[in-house]
Chain A
Amino acid sequence: GAVVSQHPSRVICKSGTSVKIECRSLDFQATTMFWYRQFPKQSLMLMATSNEGSKATYEQGVEKDKFLINHASLTLSTLTVTSAHPEDSSFYICSARDYLQGTNTEAFFGQGTRLTVV
């Protein structure tokens, strides 16, 4: 089945630095990918929709300048957390759907990235 690969799985960074997270669709083209944030014991919070070749669409309350999204190819989207602070520590997950299989197709999730800002 379709696979979405997310890297890195864990990252610890110093406050003020930037962290890039990659999300790849391995065997299908993803014109659209989604980035979620998940706090402990909570649900998936959609941060933004990443669109290949155009600007990402951010959900209300998500800072565009802090969470930079680039979707330069049909198989790769990146999320960069800029000037990270401890409150940015969280579990970030990407997902993609293979729309060639239809609009009701399932979502495939990356393995997630556990970000810890110290």
Chain B
Amino acid sequence: GQQVMQIPQYQHVQEGEDFTTYCNSSTTLSNIQWYKQRPGGHPVFLIQLVKSGEVKKQKRLTFQFGEAKKNSSLHITATQTTDVGTYFCAGPGGAGSYQLTFGKGTKLSVIP
């Protein structure tokens, strides 16, 4: 079945440094979604990318979808302590499925 690989698993950064997490799929994705889970919380939807090569920004967060629609990245500029959490990418499940296939997530720690 479809797999979504996400790296790195953990990232510790000094406050103010940049952060990037990468997501790769074994198959072409029709779309990719990104979620953030704060410590002790539940995943919350951040954004969805649909078009090949698409780039979307949300303040300090930049999301990219690869040209081949097999990879994606989330980049945070000048991290803040409020960015702490685990970031998950998710692609559609198999054909006809309503499921989402989640990457293992990248846990971001920000050192003040």
Chain A residues packing against B (C-beta within 8 Å):
32, 34, 41-44, 46, 49, 93, 95, 97, 99, 103-104, 106-112
Contact = CB atoms under 8 A, between A and B. Distances in A.
Interface string B1-44: 00000000000000000000000000000110101000001111
B107 A106 contact: no
A104 B90 contact: no
Given A109-B42, A110-B42, A112-B42, A99 B30 contact: no
Interface stretch (B51-59, B61-69, B71-79, B92-100): B92-100
Contacts of B44: 109
Nearest to B34: A106
A60 to B, nearest CB: 10
B43 A44 contact: yes
A74 B103 CA distance: 28
Contacts of B43: 44, 93, 95, 107, 109
A107 B42 contact: no
Nearest to A49: B99
Contacts of A104: 30-31, 48, 50, 92
- For this complex, into which size category does the number of interface residues on chain B fall? 20 to 34
A109 B102 CA distance: 13
A2 to B, nearest CB: 10
B45 A107 contact: yes
Contacts of A95: 43
A99 B16 CA distance: 39
A106 B33 contact: yes
A113 to B, nearest CB: 10
* Most A C-beta atoms less than 10 A away, residue of B33, B43, B98, B104: B98
16 contacts: A43-B88, A43-B105, A44-B43, A44-B88, A44-B105, A49-B98, A49-B99, A99-B98, A103-B98, A104-B30, A104-B48, A107-B100, A109-B42, A109-B43, A110-B42, A111-B41
